[in-house]
Structure formats: structure tokens, C-alpha cells
Amino acid sequence: MEQRDSADQREIAVMDGAEALETRLCDVWVMPDGRPGAAWRGLVFPLADGDRIDISQSAVPVQACRAATRTARSRYAVISGATEAYVLVEGDRVAADAAAVALRGAGIKVLRIGRYLGDPPAGVTPDWFIRIAAVADEAIDAALAGVFDRSANDPAPSLQELRVRLLETDLLAARQREAGLQADLARLRQRAADTAEEATFQQALAEEALSEEQRLRALAEAQAAAPVPRPAVPARLQEEVALVLTTLLPKLQLLRDSATVVAVEFAGRRALWRALGELHTSAMPPAGWKKIHAADGWWERHVSNGQDDAGRVYARRGDGGGWGVLVSHKGDQPRDLAWLARQ
């Protein structure tokens, strides 16, 4: 990550465990995990209460951090897909949560929040993505105007105010999501021959509800944001995916927003291309694919997204001898299984 000029300096007490080494003026940064830190001899150490750092703790290079005022200058960009879209947010998790609250408050369905793993678009370095149901860009801009275009003189909402807004909007969204998932579950019950698949779907539903509750507990106070234009997002990665498919894997057809998922949620795509290449040359799913009992004719495979094994690929043999392929993430598995069952 490109180093940025620090906008804040403080008198920092430098400690080595219990031993005080010195007190000096240090640059203050935001560490990659969102914690404040202070720079000492080229490294950034976590900043403790009383403006202290302990050099016996782990540290990160200054180049991996951003200026302490970065959260007040959060930007966003949008990648639109056929049925869903990604809002890419630059800043800490507080900025992403504040944006999600604003989107839900505008009636836009928020599906998931996660770390952005793709290449940075021009003019913005995203830290988070918010996956939403596809809407017009104008609706997204209007919803986020109060988050990213607020004047510096306008006070940021307090932690209590933000939490109340989040709870109100998320309660409504959770009820709508539960109603949709229950309807999908009813359809799966009718089509599933294996009762174990139904139990798996029930567990996924419970885990999603638990994850939502945990995210609400972690909400922190939103920061003020300076007015900045939203940059356009280049389609280089989507073009790369389309080029690979048309020239090297013509028997595969990506479904829904698979190309966008690959561009946003895959830090590395080698494992994905290998799996799709094996599928392209096979009349039957090769080793490593698992049959989905709740969705007739569909097969599933886990693949690395460049960071972990959270990538998911679903495939079904087509009438012309090719394969229909859906690339997704394990966090979206309940919705994906319901969609596959309806095809």
C-alpha cells in the first residue's frame, strides 16, 4: 500500500515492556486492522491508553498504514452486476457499517459486508465491500450522500444514535430476510430427498443470524466524512475473466454475477482457473466436486480465493455439452443453494 503523509503527531511514551525508554514526538497512523498506532524507527506499534507504545509488541511497516485522519476522508465506488452490486468503501469498519446503515435506511437490500481483496480502482483504495441487491447508481449516491458528503462542520452521529439506526434498519431487513429464507427452505424441503441437506440449510440460517448479531455488537462510532467525488471503477478484471472464458474455456458459461465476484472477492485466481480448466475438459465433474442433493444436477467445489478456502464454485451440465458455472463465497451459500434449487 502506498505510504501517505501523516496528518497527526503526538508526544508518545516509548516503552519496552515495563521499562520506559523515551518520550518523543511520533507520527500517528491507522494500522491495517483499524487500531491507532504510532511510528517509531520505521515501524508502527499499537497505541495504548495514555499515548504509550510498547516496542516488545508486534508492529507493522509504516507503508502498510494510512494517515490517522483517513477515516474522515472515506471514499466509495460501485461495481454493478446483473442482479447484485458491490459498494467499495475506503476507510475502517466504522465507515463500512455507517454506509451499510445508510443503504438499508434507503430501502436497499444489504447482503453482506467483507474485506475487499481485488485490485484498487482508480482514485480509491477500498478496504471493505458491501454486497447489495442491484439498484440504480443514483439510488446508491443518494443513500450515501449523508455519509460521504457531510460538511466538516456537521457533527458525526453519536455511537448511540448510530446503533439505534442500525438496529432499526437491521431489524426490518432481518425480518424480510427471514421471510425469504423460510420460503426458500420450504421449497428445498419439497425437492430434497436427503433430510440431512435440510438440516444443513437450517444450520446455515442459524449461523447467518448469529453472524448478524455479532456484527451489531461490534459497531463503533461513525466518523465524519469530507465531500469527495465517487470515482469510476475500471472493468479490467471483468475483462480478464471474460477473455479467459471466451479464449480458453469456451464450454463454460458464468452465471449471475460470477465475474464480479471473482474481481472483488478473489485476491488470487490460480486455484479457480485450475478448477474451471479441469471442469472444461470433463464430461463429468472431476475429483474434488461434491453432488448437491437439494439442487438436481448441481455439483459443488471449494476453492481458494487467495486468502482462505472460502471460495465456492457450483456447476451443472448443459444441454449442449458445456457447463453452467456459478462462482460465489461460502457466506452466500444459503441464498446460492436456494437459487440453484429454483433453476
DSSP 150-208: --TTSPPPPHHHHHHHHHHHHHHHHHHHHHHHHHHHHHHHHH-S-HHHHHHHHHHHHHH
Q: 76 and 214 share a domain?
A: yes
For residue 4, is it within any domain? no
Q: 91 and 223 share a domain?
A: yes
Backbone dihedral region for residue 333 (phi beyond 0: left; psi -120 to 50: alpha; all else: beta)? alpha
Distances (CA, A) of 89 to 7, 11, 202, 321: 21, 31, 32, 41
3-state secondary structure of 317: strand
For residue 3, is it within any domain? no
Provide the edge-to-edge strand list for the sheet that holds 110-115.
76-80, 84-89, 128-133, 110-115
Residue 96, H or E segment? helix 93-105
Pairing relation of β-strands 110-115 and 298-303? unpaired
Q: 74 and 140 share a domain?
A: yes
Q: 222 and 77 share a domain?
A: yes
pLDDT at 207: 66
Q: Which three cell numbers stand for residue 96?
A: 463500512
* Single residue among 212, 234, 256 that ends a domain in this structure: 234
For residue 49, is it within any domain? yes
Task: Give which of 236, 219, 235 is closest to 168, Cα–Cα.
Answer: 219
For residue 50, is it within any domain? yes
* Sign of the C-alpha dihedral computed for residues 39, 44, 45 and 50 taken in this order: positive
Q: Based on the structure, what is the number of domains in the chain?
A: 3
pLDDT at 269: 86
Q: 195 and 85 share a domain?
A: yes
Q: 35 and 160 share a domain?
A: no
pLDDT at 232: 53
Distances (CA, A) of 141 to 91, 106, 147, 239, 307: 17, 11, 10, 25, 31
pLDDT at 212: 56
pLDDT at 298: 94
Q: 227 and 251 share a domain?
A: no
Q: 59 and 153 share a domain?
A: no
Q: 28 and 122 share a domain?
A: no
How far apart, in whole angstroms, are the C-alpha atoms of residue 277 and residue 261?
A: 18
For residue 153, is it within any domain? yes
* Sign of the C-alpha dihedral computed for residues 270, 273, 274 and 275 taken in this order: positive
Burial of 325 (C-beta count, 10 Å sphere; 0-12/13-18/19+): buried
Q: 214 and 240 share a domain?
A: no
Q: 107 and 230 share a domain?
A: yes
For residue 21, is it within any domain? yes
* Single residue among 234, 250, 275 that ends a domain in this structure: 234
Q: One digit per residue, pLDDT tens: the chain, 343 residues? A: 333 444 467 889 999 888 889 988 888 888 887 788 888 888 889 988 888 999 998 888 887 887 665 443 457 888 888 788 999 988 778 788 888 988 998 899 999 999 888 877 766 778 889 999 988 888 888 888 777 754 344 444 554 555 565 566 566 666 666 776 777 777 777 766 556 655 666 666 666 656 655 655 555 444 444 444 555 554 566 777 777 777 888 889 889 888 888 888 888 888 999 899 899 888 888 888 999 988 889 999 999 988 888 899 999 998 778 899 999 999 899 999 999 999 8
How far apart, in whole angstroms, are the C-alpha atoms of residue 231 and residue 208?
A: 32
What range defines the domain where residue 57 resides? Answer: 9-68
pLDDT at 202: 66
For residue 115, is it within any domain? yes
For residue 2, is it within any domain? no
Q: 97 and 143 share a domain?
A: yes
